Structure 1
Amino acid sequence: MELSVFNIKGEDTGRKIVLDDAVFGIEPNDHAIYLDVKQYLANQRQGTHKSKERSEISGSTRKLIRQKGGGGARRGDINSPVLVGGGRVFGPTPRDYSFKLNKKLKGLARRSALTHKAAAGEIIVVENFDFEAPKTKSFLALAQALKVADQKALFVSEKISDNVALSARNVQTARLSNAFQLNTYAVLNCKQLVLTESAVAVINEQFKA
């Protein structure tokens, strides 16, 4: 697949760049995408949730009522789960939600996500760019020139300079990613994928099966 290369003013440079069919034109595997996204989201969870069980409640262990004859439940002490302020039964405990996926499956998921983007026409290629100084106005001008200012866009470059990173951090609809660290969730969690020429070269080379 060939795409036109635009400059930072949104003008067609007349150059074309090739998106390798081994990365952007495969038979997509949606289940691989599901597993990779599931793993990514699971890895974001801290897993620090915790509720106190009966033995962890700070309260008296004195038996409140006699065992029989009261006409109610045999609830024991004031820490009983059936009483307000008592412990919780089978409550959440700290745990690790992460799980392992094979490297080949993760690669397949990334290629499948990129293939979906390419098929939907949601990839824009722009020439390599940088800003002289960190200015949000400069980044907004770029986004408007590429007609992605009102859409959630992921800008991918081989190397993200400090000026570009600082210029984009206050733009809520824009995200930045290093081409080497591009992941399936980031690709799918945007409406437009904006790749620099150097990023395309890295992806074509690094993401092949």
Structure 2
Amino acid sequence: MRKLQRREFTTLGLVSGLTLSVGVPMARAQDNPMPPELRDAIERQPFSPVLGNSKGDVTLTEFFDYNCPHCRTSVPVIRKLIGDDPHLRVVLREWPVFGESSEFCARASLASVKQGKYWQFHSGLMAIRGRAEEASAMRVAQEVGLDLAKLRRDMRSADVEGHIAQSMALGDHMGLMGTPTFIAGNDALFGKKSGSELKQLVAQARKDLA
């Protein structure tokens, strides 16, 4: 358990000294609220994929990588959370920290947003056995019916570039430990988490943000 490091990151429009508490006891969350500028940067970037209720009362954000084994196990957990909680808004932040193959998959996945098939493609990438890389990602893209030529063009778009750059910046700014990291309200959890643990995180966020 630790607090995130204090970093100055002016290119995101954040002020210096913003902090987020990770793993602090839930009872203390109100004493260390997330600054609104940081919350907006995490939850409200226009091109970030949103699942569940887009107008939900609380947002759960996951920072993930397609080559992170624990991130892969979170897919059915997130799906069930959304099914059980009609007021939950989920933001998926592509954070490719496992090298060039992960970056290719993140770019392709974000590009699929422009064809309205993000969740199908995301789920397919997470189901890849072995390393997710260009060849396996494009096979999944074909299987879910994406226009492959358009996908490759959109991978170089400003929207895709901006999402990945902001995820990298936020990870550095907050001193995130790795993937997956789940953030809701004023608190976050790192590593493989059960549905009940994430429900508790969301419940505390609702209490803090009420």
Superposed pair shares fold, TM > 0.5: no
Structure showing greater Rg: 1
TM-score, normalised by the number of residues in structure 1: 0.24
Which structure shows the bigger proportion of residues in helix conformation? 2
